[in-house]
């Protein structure tokens, strides 16, 4: 069916919502091929109407979320180049939305999510320096929109530091350890997200193994890590940090 913007605006909105509500759960349970088919149906409708949709803030936000979820679906099947291509397209549309309303915190948070997604794609493609740059932008936007103590900001910070370690940017090790400690303290107040705590402790162990002069900072992180629930994965990561102290 050929969709006409003026005649089918409401139908388009309902169709895109239905596609996302079907494809996103499918992707999350591992039905990535089926999810990709549904996402592509949405893309086939959106792409010819892109200019018109960008003029409608509600549909523009909806479209950007569908594109972003489609990119995440490619990430799950390790097609990092395709994921990057889609996530970059999302970033462009979200940047345009922020440019229209620079003080809108929700839009800045969505733009931050795009930079984080691009940073993740680049990390898996081995472009660590570019990954770091994108994660730094994500952290800055999250701080500005959701606050430094938000879960989203802590998550982006963990990814930024992971990319930074791989890029060999050793001059900021001390700063990163202090940020990791602050992030763990924030997680104590927000909620226990096992993977984020594990990532923080793992990054700390890597940094201290490279730079022994930062043992004191590592010890503070170790003390904090031991205050979280003792899961198997976290216990193993704590042992790795203890081994380098």
- Report whether 176 contacts 164 (CB < 8 A): yes
Task: Render pLDDT for 72-121 as a digit per residue (tens, 0 to 9).
Answer: 999 999 999 999 999 998 899 899 889 989 999 999 999 999 999 999 99
The reported pLDDT for the residue numbered 2 is 64
Q: Which residues, in sequence order, are CB contacts of 217 under 8 Å at separation 6+?
A: 174, 177, 178, 181, 204, 208
Q: Which residues, in sequence order, are CB contacts of 174 under 8 Å at separation 6+?
A: 211, 214, 217
* Confidence grade of residue 170 (pLDDT, cut at 50, 70, 90): confident
Query: Which position has the token pair 């050793």?
Result: 170
* DSSP category for residue 149: T
- Report whether 140 contacts 152 (CB < 8 A): no
Average pLDDT over residues 213-220: 96
- Structure token pair of residue 240: 């790795």
Question: Could you count the other beta carbons within 10 Å of the beta carbon of residue 142?
Answer: 26
* Confidence grade of residue 5 (pLDDT, cut at 50, 70, 90): low
Task: Give residue 172's Cα distance to chain centre.
Answer: 22
Report helix, strand and coil shares of the chain as percent, to nearest 5.
85, 0, 15
Least confident of 52-56, 104-108, 231-235: 52-56
Q: Where are the alpha helices (DSSP H) in 55-193?
A: 57-76, 80-100, 105-124, 128-145, 151-167, 173-190
pLDDT at position 1 over 70: no
The reported pLDDT for the residue numbered 10 is 83
């Amino acid at each position: 069916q050929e969709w006409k913007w003026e005649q089918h605006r409401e139908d388009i909105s309902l169709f895109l919502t239905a596609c996302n509500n079907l494809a996103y759960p499918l992707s999350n349970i591992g039905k990535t091929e089926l999810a990709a088919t549904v996402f592509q149906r949405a893309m086939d409708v959106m792409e010819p109407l892109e200019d018109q949709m960008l003029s409608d803030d509600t549909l523009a936000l909806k479209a950007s979320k569908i594109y972003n979820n489609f990119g995440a679906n490619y990430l799950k099947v390790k097609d990092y180049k395709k994921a990057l291509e889609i996530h970059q397209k999302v970033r462009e549309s979200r940047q345009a939305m922020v440019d229209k309303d620079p003080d809108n915190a929700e839009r800045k948070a969505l733009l931050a999510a795009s930079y984080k997604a691009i940073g993740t794609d680049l990390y898996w493609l081995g472009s660590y320096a570019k990954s770091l740059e994108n994660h730094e932008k994500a952290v800055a936007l999250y701080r500005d929109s959701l606050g430094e103590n938000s879960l989203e900001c802590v998550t982006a910070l963990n990814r930024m530091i992971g990319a930074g370690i791989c890029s060999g940017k050793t001059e900021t090790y001390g700063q990163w350890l202090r940020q990791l400690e602050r992030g763990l303290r924030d997680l104590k107040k927000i909620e226990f997200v096992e993977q984020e705590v594990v990532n923080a402790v793992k990054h700390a162990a890597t940094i201290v193994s490279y730079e022994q002069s930062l043992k004191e900072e590592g010890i503070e992180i170790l003390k904090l890590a031991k205050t979280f629930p003792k899961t198997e994965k976290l216990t193993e990561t704590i042992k790795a940090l203890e081994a380098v102290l």
